[in-house]
A = this chain, B = another copy of it.
C-alpha cells in the first residue's frame, strides 16, 4: 500500500522498517486485523478471527528470532455482538495466546461498526534476526505458498473452504525457525505476498531465481510462511533442520548485485 510506505517515510526512526522494533533485548511488533479489510462476515468464525489476529502477530516475533511474551489487546466490537459472540472471539484469542505462552497484559475495548483486533506484542530476543540478506546468500521459504489466495478466491466466489485452509488456520514454523536460527542470516514473514514482500526483504539488491514460481506462489498474501536467507555453506544444515522439523523448504534464489524490481502488484481484495 503506497499510503503505508508514505506513512513509514514520515516517521523516521532507526527502529522502523522490520517486522518488529528492537530495543535492548525486547522486540515490539503490531498488526491490525479488521473486518472488510482482512475478512468479510461469515468467512471466518469468531473463534478463527480471534485466533488468526494473535497468530499473525506472533508470526512477526518468530521471524525476528524473538519469543513472544506479552500482548496488549485492542478490540473493536460492534454493538450487535452478544456476550456469547465475544466469548467465542475471546476463546480464539486465548487459544492462540496459550499455545504460544503469551499473556494479555492490558488493552482497550471500544464499540465500533467494524469488528477488529489490534495487537501489540512484546517479545524477548538475545539474537534478533533482521531483513536485508547479503549478496551471495541463498533465499528460501517454508511451506507451500498459494493456499491463502486460493482460499480467498473461493470465499469471494461464495464457496466454502476447509477449516484447514491457510486462510482460516495459519500455521507458524516456530520450532523449525528457532532451531535453525543459528544458520539464518535474515528473515521476514510473507504477509503481503512474495511479489510484494521480496523488495522489502532484499532492499536494493537483485535476485537470481534458481526455480520457477507460479502466480499463486508469487501473489498470495497472508501466508505467514517464512522468507529467509542463509550462507551457501550452511545449505545442507538448513535442509537437514527442515527435514527433521518436517517443514517443506523451497530454495528459490540467490542474492546478487543490482536492484530487484517486480512488475507484480501486491494483492488486495
Determine whether the beta carbon of B76 is less than 8 Å from that of A32: yes
Interface size class of A (residues with CB under 8 A): 35 or more
Residues of B within 8 A of A159 (CB): none
In the complex, A146 has a CB within 8 A of chain B: no
Determine whether the beta carbon of B23 is less than 8 Å from that of A105: yes
Residues of B within 8 A of A90 (CB): 7, 10-11
A30 with B74, Cβ < 8 A, contacts A86-B7, A104-B16 known: yes
Determine whether the beta carbon of B110 is less than 8 Å from that of A113: no
Determine whether the beta carbon of B113 is less than 8 Å from that of A113: yes
Residues of B within 8 A of A120 (CB): 28, 30, 72, 120
- CB A57 to nearest CB in B, in angstroms, measures 9
Determine whether the beta carbon of B109 is less than 8 Å from that of A28: no
How far is it, in angstroms, between the C-alpha of A10 and the C-alpha of B109 when the chains are bound? 13
A30 with B72, Cβ < 8 A, contacts A11-B104, A13-B104, A23-B105 known: yes
Stoichiometry (number of copies): 2
The 8 A CB mask of A68-80 against B (1 = contact, 0 = none) is: 0010111111000
Within 8 A of B (CB), among A59-106: 70, 72-77, 81, 83, 86-87, 90, 94, 103-106
Q: A3-B83, A30-B120, A76-B116 are in contact. List 17 more A-B contacts (CB 8 A).
A: A3-B77, A4-B109, A13-B105, A15-B70, A16-B105, A18-B106, A21-B70, A23-B70, A28-B70, A28-B106, A34-B76, A37-B110, A37-B112, A38-B110, A108-B118, A112-B116, A113-B114
